[in-house]
Amino acid sequence: MLFKKIIILSLLMCVLSLNAQNPIVQTYFTADPAPMVHNGTVYMYTTHDEDETIDNFFTMHNWRCYSSTDMVNWTDHGVVASLKDFKWSDKTNGAWAPQAIERNGKFYLYCPIHGDGVAVLVADSPTGPFVDPLGKRLIDGTANIWHDIDPTVFIDDDGQAYLFWGNPGLYYVKLNEDMISYDRTVGSNGIFAVEMTTEGFGEHIGRDGNMRTKYTEGPWVYKRNDLYYLVYAASGIPEYIAYSTAPSIKGPWTYRGYIMERAPHLAFTNHPGIIDFKGNSYFFYHTHELSGGEGFKRSVSVEQFEYNADGSIPLIIPSKEGVKKSVSNLNPFARVEAETIAWSEGLKTASDNEGGIFVTKIHNGDFIKVRSVDFSNGAKSFKATIASAAKGGKIELRLGAPDGQLIGTCKVKDTKGWTDWRTIESKTKAVGGVHDLYLVFKGGEGELFNFDWWMFSR
Active site residue 32: yes
Q: Which CATH architecture has domain 336-457?
A: Sandwich (2.60)
Spell out the domain ranges in the chain.
29-305, 336-457
Region 352-369: what's the mean pLDDT?
92
Output the CA torsion sign for 17, 23, 25, 30.
negative
Question: Catalytic: which of 32, 49, 132, 150?
Answer: 32
What are the C-alpha distances in Å from 420 to residues 58, 287, 338? 36, 37, 16
Class of domain 29-305: mainly beta
| 316-346 pLDDT tens trace | 999 999 999 999 999 999 999 999 999 999 9
The mean pLDDT value for 3-25 works out to 57
- Residue 427's DSSP bridge partners are 381
Q: Which helix (H) or strand (E) segment is 454 a member of? A: strand 450-457
- Which residues are 344's β-sheet partners? 368
Q: What is the pLDDT of residues 418-430, one digit of tens each?
A: 999 999 999 999 8
Model pLDDT for residues 60-95, shown as the tens digit of each residue: 999 999 999 999 999 999 999 999 999 999 999 999
- Based on its alpha-carbon atoms, the radius of gyration of the chain, rounded to whole angstroms, reads 23
From the list 90, 199, 276, 420, the catalytic residue is 199
> Distance (Å, rounded) from C-alpha 155 to C-alpha 283?
20
Q: Under DSSP, is residue 201 helix (H, G, I), strand (E, B) or coil?
A: helix
Q: What is the per-residue pLDDT across 128-185, written as a single tens digit (0 to 9) for each?
A: 999 999 999 999 877 689 999 999 999 999 999 999 999 999 999 999 999 999 999 9
Domains 29-305 and 336-457 share a fold: no
Q: Can 199 be counted among the known catalytic residues?
A: yes
Triad 43, 45, 46: Cα angle to 5°: 145
